[in-house]
Structure 1
Amino acid sequence: MDLPTCPACGQSVLDDEAKDCPFCGASMSGKPQAKKPSAQAAAPKSAKPTATAKDESKPAKASSAPAAKKTDDDDPFAVDKAAKKGAVALRPEPSKGRAHEVVCPMCETPGFTSTKAGGRDVRCCNPECLVPIFTAPEVKKEKPPEEPTKTGPPKAAVYGGGALLVALVGVGVWFFVFRVTEVPTPEGALYVPGQSGSDDSATDDGDEPASDGSSSTATSSIEDPRTPQHIRAASLKAMEEACLRRENNRSKPYCRRLTATAFARTGNTEGALQQLDQMRALRPSIPYYRIDPLVELAWRGHQAGDAAAVKTRLDEAVAVAARLSTRGRSRLEYAVDLAAALIAADRLTDARKLIDAHEEMTPDGQFAGELSAMRAMKQFNADAYADEAPIYRWAAPQTVAVVIGLVAHGETEAAQKWATSQQNDEIRSEAILVWADESLRRALAAGNALDMSAIDAAAKGLPPSGRVRLYARLAGRYLRAEEKSEADALLVRAHAESKQPAPPGELLLPGMKDLMTLQLPAAAPLRMQALAAAELAVVESRAGHVEKSAAACDLAMQFLRGSTPSPMAIVQRLNEIKDLGSDAMKTKLKQALELKTDGEAFLAFNEYRRNCSKIADASANRFAVQEAILVAIVNAGLLDSVSGEIDGRSEQSDLNLREPWAVTRVPRLLIEQYTKNGNDDAAKPIVAMVNAAGNRGTIVEQLIAVAEKLIDDGKFKQAAQVFEGRGSGGMSDDQRESWRLRLAGRLIAEQKVDAAFEFVGGISDADESFRESALWFAAAQATQSGQARKVWEIGDKATWSATETVSIYGGLLESLDVPAPPKTASTGKTTGVPTSSR
């Protein structure tokens, strides 16, 4: 039996009584089809009006597509232009964010789009389709099963009475299996943007290489990238597509910034310039976002010897840098990157003006300097970077970061010029130290000898403490490389410089009368001498020279104790003011100073209280440096001397000599190290000291311990969120973010890449911008460790937002061709101190 055939599309129809074709909707009789009233027009009058139906007496507009112009009723296949323009175009192949399959009811061609297109008009991807516009089926969203609520750590572990609430809906861990294979590398694999025939998509025009049979992978292309060339091309393509996404996109300017920078760093100047044009056209525009790609293009021009291009890029970057905010961490990183490029272009004045405006010595400024240094050094593992962090914070973190950036670009002479141009002794000493240390690190990594003549010449302009610290740091670098003879020679030079000047005597707190006029000595020179001695103590301990290390440690303490009175003594004076009250203190001062009037006593009391507060602040700063020094020395292995030091000072009856070591992290670190070494007897008296003082650690250390335990238990998302909410109130932003980077870095170093991304992905939306930064670092570190394919697969997940996507691929491209940092002997440093809290 012959089936009825549609006169319009030619399809056979099973239903003999069908009036309309189920495939194309045309009349089976071949006559024009009467228009059906819309659902809204046919609704009862009692129905509640919709937003689009203001007048019930008038027919409502169709909701599935824009209003169409009247078409020829004699042509059942006519498609009005307005409906065609408003329809969502289906893609012939699935891609990130467009993996939902929709089959055309007319020609049965499958196409792909976002699940958000369900219920909307879509356009078939088959250009020969007779009826290309149809409504995509609604997508039924199923609620994922919830994991059982996981309990957090014991209440007392973090808050001592508060509860840590960490209950999350679980998301499965991503598991990928990838075997590295040898695949022929084709020519012309570079992705070039803007070659698509459509304005709203980025497509690949590259050729797909044929397999030569040597690989288990039949093909390697931009759609299934396995070679570095194709991973690079596919990542750039994915980044450009993410820039065009409207949904789930926190910031289009952010996407464009990272994408433009990625194009520039991969040598695709044309692509970078196109992205910069898009950034300029964005509304609202964020001008200083253009600094990163402009600086990268300037470096490219500098390497190529194109002075005109360098000037053009830097002029624009300097112009937009004038609009940098006066707050926030990112401005500090922009300033560092631009200043380094300006110095390389011999624009020292512009660089100095920029850094002077954005030098920040706060903890957040320190962390920004560390991030700048890590990016320049291509050391994306924050935990490994912390292992080489300075004993105490830099005096000028942005200035130091500029030095590192210059050396990283091979501009060692420019870095030396910048370092030696610093007017402040402390800043100049640190800048020259970092310049020399980075130069040696890179020379050792390349297997080259370091020319010490330039370093010796620069050292002549430093005070003795600067030279001691310089030679000790270089000796430590040689020890890491296991070149002991070079290290020993530099240690001899460091000791020779350390003999002058001699430390001052311990500064004791005077009586009330003398305290009124007490002037503390300048803190910076004594702090510099203490840190120089501490650097020497650390290296000597690592070299196995216990007696020399102990002597240097004692010298460091002497310098600091000559800078302010004991913190215990000055706190006792402040407590006296509080306990006695103002009237009693005025009477006491009136007698001690032999004052005649109450007015004089009033002025004296205010001056006395003000001076006590100033001295207390200075004493607290001094003790913070002491603590940082002893932590570093304990990490270097000098345990017995430090144990004796803190025990003796904690038991002093004279407040001028007593120091509150029992409540610091030093005794806890000693316990940890003694226990690790199996020396429980040495640990017992320190345990008693800590328990008597009620020293359970700072909130920072407690939260770190909780996060580490959750990571050990495989609860990665919960671990990330330990650092959020009310329970983390004792942590500063820099500590919170530094530690999350460090913990992610450890996971990747242990080849737990999926776990690291789950950990970082667990950072809540309240820290969304930092989550993007952490994804960038995680992707860079994992790629550098040989996991580029895995990072690509992780980034290709549809769950990431647009900004997260560009962060992952931006990090991947940052280190795709960058070798991992050389492994050196460990310093033995533990996790006791957040880098940015030093």
Structure 2
Amino acid sequence: MFPTCPACKQSVLDDDVENCPFCGANMKTGKGGNQGLAQKATPKPVAKERPSAPSAPAAAASTAKAAPAKSAPAASKDDDDDPFGVDAASNSRAILLSPRPAKGKTVRLVCPMCETPGFAAADAAGKEVKCCNEQCALPIFTAPKAGGVTAGADPRVHATTTAAAATSSAKKTSPAMILTAVSTLVLAGGSLWYFVFNEPAGIKPLPATPATGSQLPVTNTPDAGTEKVDDKKTTTNAKPRGDELRATILPVLVTMSQTSDKNRSKHFCRRLTAEAYVEAGDLKIARENIDQLLILTPKLPFHQIPPLTQIAWRELSAGNAEGAKTALDAAWKAATDLPAVSRLTFDATTDLAAALFASGRADDAQSLMKKENMLPSGSSGTLAALSRRARLLRSFDLEESSASLPIIPWKSPQWVVSTSTLVLRGHADKGAEWIKLCPDAETKAECWAAWGDAVVALPSSAAANKDDSIIAAVRDESPATQARVWARVAAGRLAIKQKDAANRALTHAATAIKAVPLPEDFAIPEMKEILKLNLSDAVAPKLNAIASAEVARAQTLLGQEQPATESLTAAMQHLRGHAPSPFAATRLFEATSRDVNSVKAQLKTALNLKTDDKVVQALTTYRATCRAMFDAANARFALQTDILKAAVDWPLLDAVWNEATARAGESTPPETREEFLKTNLSVRLGQRLRAAGEVDQARLCENAVTTGELTDARDALQRETANAVEKGDVNSVAQKLGAYQPAKAAGEKTSTEDTDWPLLWELRLACRLAKAGQTEKAFDLVSGSKDMLWREEGFEMLAAIVAKNPAAAEPVWKKYRPSLLSPTEKIAIFRGLCAGLSSSLAANP
């Protein structure tokens, strides 16, 4: 059902319109309208396309005046909605332009309405043609006369020349042709005034910004051969004016949010529009867009949570506690309708939880950290975390933010992101309090590491080069947690070129981790003792190992190779003390199934059992304990392998090689044997060793790869696509990433690997291109994605990066304003432009 006007009872197509388009009454109250207007028959114009001769509209106008009202056909709703509509006759006789050159269609014509180029045959000169842009507001226009256009020429230049020639040779030209030229120029001038100079109230026209080598081309750059350019004036007007550009874009976001054609989600459009207005400081219009969002069908009120939460943060910063409470109450109410698991759910809950906690509503904040709202701990959570960090730091650069990634993926990314949000929004003390509410030790350690990274990254933070606040914050934490925090602080300080402060932080980290004693290798007890064995908690050894690895990475970054090697060895040893080697544990567990009778006999003798029932009971207990040791050994080995694979790229190649081979020999006792080269570590390690010129070691790795038929599809694709992007070849990168299929583990029907990795990697590559000034190629890379959601996220991110320089933002705006992208894609670009411009204005008020 369409909404119905309460005043004139007419049905309205759009569900988010404020006033009735028929009578002007308010769609909610029914007041303020004129019902008589809705009942009047509006005379339909004879022709709405550009006239080919001035006599036609003049005659039509006089006829319409003289004729009785009843003879004029009643205007349809479509005509009322589209002031630039074209009647069917004109539309049918117009020659459709081809979007690209084809056989017999080599004459290039540019639509004067939307500036979309098209191609037609030479005999189209002087005839009505139709723009190939399906979204063009006024697609019918008259092609320039023969002789005024050549193949590949721009008709906007030659049309002027033709008109001038017609004026100078009036004796040879018919009156109809003169009137045609004059009326065409008048209409074109009127269109130019309406669409270029007639800006919304309070918005001034933008100065033209000439394109540079790294920017997208400006579509309406004057032709130096036909137009005289005032160099002095151009230089003056080319100054970056981000506030004016943002003021121009914002109303367009509102208009596009109302578009229904090919619009994937009007809710998405309204949400991004509201967010853009919040960033611009116009909370009134932001709330109006949120209200419009709530009118849409189907009802999806959870889309209002992000802009409402951003309003709350802004009110908190301004000291308006009541305004923040109002926004938070509305967001909290809408949160009950969030989908169980989604990226929007993750983003909404983490930001809202942080805002609630900063406002003193700890219980409400904790309730949002529900397990069902957690994304997988792989690339989905990583992408969400990097995106939040990049946005709050106003860099919008996922590649830059990737330096903050942990060695091992987070167990609880939702807690981590909410912690980082508190710190990066200026509430580091609240972030430390929030961490104390974490549900387990592993989550708590992850959040502390993220806190250390964020507190240094925050602009103008005292923690960037001073230790006092960090020492006070982590004083009561475990040595491993302290080491992990200081290691992240050291890496963060090095990234902002605070090397002396980074070295101090690294000293704190090394001192803390050395306070954790290194265990001896796990020794498998005798059979009788195995029945009474209880394995210790695996969390503490895991946290100690990760902390040691983080210290090793920070030491590598600061050029301390020998200490880094020692820290890596310590990380391996912390895990060896918790569980047996996989080699020994596998052999012991398999014997409980392969040699059952032998195991029974051993149990009967070791325990002096008298009956077969007692033997069977003992065997069941023994097998369960062996299975527990087998699982612990595999978990230990997998974590060791992941740490070594990460260390390969720090790079710490010699240390990794030593760890991978030191216990792999045939003479190594089963209790300590570790065969890392039989894992896909060999693929990565062999490739890096060969690149480093270590041919003999690389060959050993490659032999292991061949023998074990080992692969590392992700690493291979990552290197392949990175090389392609570095060479500027982006055409196939998106397709290759889109076709990536994670390998399945043995016995699994589907992959458990997080499939958001291709999107994350694609966005990181696009950031590399954008930072290198290759904006066109960055947009081309994202455009190649088959998934529209991927394109939307990529477009928004790239536009924001570009718009940090207002002079570079304007060409992007001019290129994509008339483009044929879907409304959600275009609104993502314009939302990104507004974000980048707002960042620029905040940095340079």
Task: Report if TM-score (shorter chain) is over 0.5.
Answer: yes
Q: Give the SS at the match of 2:734.
A: helix
For the Cα contact (< 8 Å) 2:242–2:841, is it kept in 1? no
Task: Give the gaps of 5 or more residues in structure 1.
Answer: 1-7, 10-20, 33-70, 102-107, 125-134, 140-196, 823-838
Residues 710 and 473 (structure 1 numbering): CA distance in 2 closer, same or farther, change over 3 Å? closer
Q: Once the two structures are superposed, what CA deviation does each residue of 1:90-126 show, in whole Å capped at 9, x if it has no partner?
A: 189988799999xxxxxx9x999995589xxx9x9xx
For 2:314, the aligned partner's letter is R
Distance 2:784 2:468 in 1: 50
Is 1:455 matched with 2:449?
A: no
The equivalent residue for 1:348 is: 362
Distance 1:539 1:356 in 2: 33
For the Cα contact (< 8 Å) 1:650–1:658, is it kept in 2? yes
Is 1:806 matched with 2:821?
A: no
In the TM superposition, residue 290 of structure 1 has moved relative to its aligned partner by 0.5
The equivalent residue for 1:382 is: 398
The equivalent residue for 1:742 is: 764
Which of these residues, 496, 508, 520, is aligned with residue 523 of structure 2? Answer: 508
For 1:400, the aligned partner's letter is V
Which of these residues, 212, 237, 245, is aligned with residue 251 of structure 2? Answer: 237
Which of these residues, 574, 586, 598, is aligned with residue 571 of structure 1? Answer: 586
Distance 2:135 2:515 in 1: 76
The equivalent residue for 1:392 is: 408
Q: Equivalences for 1:162-201 in 2 at 5 Å?
A: none
The equivalent residue for 2:430 is: 414
In the TM superposition, residue 804 of structure 1 has moved relative to its aligned partner by 0.8
Q: Give the SS at the match of 1:521.
A: coil
In the TM superposition, residue 317 of structure 1 has moved relative to its aligned partner by 0.4
The equivalent residue for 2:184 is: none
Which of these residues, 544, 549, 554, is aligned with residue 539 of structure 1? Answer: 554
In the TM superposition, residue 284 of structure 1 has moved relative to its aligned partner by 0.4
For 1:782, the aligned partner's letter is V
In the TM superposition, residue 249 of structure 1 has moved relative to its aligned partner by 0.9
The equivalent residue for 1:773 is: 793
Which of these residues, 756, 762, 779, is aligned with residue 784 of structure 2? Answer: 762
Is 1:89 matched with 2:109?
A: no
Q: Which has the higher helix share?
A: 2
Distance 2:206 2:498 in 1: 47
Which of these residues, 398, 403, 427, is aligned with residue 443 of structure 2? Answer: 427
For 1:527, the aligned partner's letter is K
Deviates more, 1:487-496 or 1:707-716: 707-716
Distance 2:276 2:113 in 1: 21
Q: Once the two structures are superposed, what CA deviation does each residue of 1:712-754 show, in whole Å capped at 9, x if it has no partner?
A: 6755343212233474565532322222222222222332222
Q: Give the SS at the match of 1:722.
A: helix
Distance 2:351 2:762 in 1: 24
Q: Once the two structures are superposed, what CA deviation does each residue of 1:429-450 show, in whole Å capped at 9, x if it has no partner?
A: 433333233222335x679864
Distance 1:475 1:314 in 2: 36
For the Cα contact (< 8 Å) 1:706–1:722, is it kept in 2? no
Which of these residues, 559, 563, 566, is aligned with residue 551 of structure 1? Answer: 566
Superposition RMSD in Å: 4.4
Residues 413 and 675 (structure 1 numbering): CA distance in 2 closer, same or farther, change over 3 Å? same
Is 1:372 matched with 2:402?
A: no
Distance 2:493 2:524 in 1: 43
Residues 244 and 635 (structure 1 numbering): CA distance in 2 closer, same or farther, change over 3 Å? same
The equivalent residue for 1:78 is: 72
For the Cα contact (< 8 Å) 2:464–2:498, is it kept in 1? no
In the TM superposition, residue 419 of structure 1 has moved relative to its aligned partner by 2.8
The equivalent residue for 1:560 is: 575
Q: Equivalences for 1:285-296 in 2 at 5 Å?
A: 285-296=299-310
The equivalent residue for 2:51 is: none
The equivalent residue for 2:96 is: none
Q: Give the SS at the match of 2:672.
A: coil
Distance 1:752 1:85 in 2: 44
Q: Equivalences for 1:227-266 in 2 at 5 Å?
A: 227-266=241-280
Is 1:522 matched with 2:544?
A: no
Q: Give the SS at the match of 2:518.
A: coil
The equivalent residue for 1:327 is: 341
Is 1:791 matched with 2:788?
A: no
Deviates more, 1:589-598 or 1:349-358: 589-598
For the Cα contact (< 8 Å) 1:202–1:240, is it kept in 2? no
In the TM superposition, residue 226 of structure 1 has moved relative to its aligned partner by 6.4
Number of residues of Structure 1 aligned to a counterpart in Structure 2:
675
Is 1:818 matched with 2:817?
A: no
In the TM superposition, residue 352 of structure 1 has moved relative to its aligned partner by 1.6
In the TM superposition, residue 579 of structure 1 has moved relative to its aligned partner by 5.3
Identity of aligned residues (%): 26
For the Cα contact (< 8 Å) 1:426–1:528, is it kept in 2? yes
The equivalent residue for 1:633 is: 647
Deviates more, 1:255-264 or 1:648-657: 648-657
The equivalent residue for 1:474 is: 489
Q: Give the SS at the match of 2:732.
A: helix
Distance 1:516 1:791 in 2: 70
For 1:750, the aligned partner's letter is A
Is 1:208 matched with 2:185?
A: no
Residues 479 and 592 (structure 1 numbering): CA distance in 2 closer, same or farther, change over 3 Å? same
In the TM superposition, residue 809 of structure 1 has moved relative to its aligned partner by 1.5
Deviates more, 1:400-409 or 1:595-604: 595-604
Q: Give the SS at the match of 2:404.
A: coil
Which of these residues, 637, 644, 650, is aligned with residue 664 of structure 2? Answer: 650
Task: Give the gaps of 5 or more residues in structure 2.
Answer: 1-44, 47-54, 87-110, 120-125, 144-193, 209-229, 745-752
The equivalent residue for 2:25 is: none
The equivalent residue for 1:310 is: 324
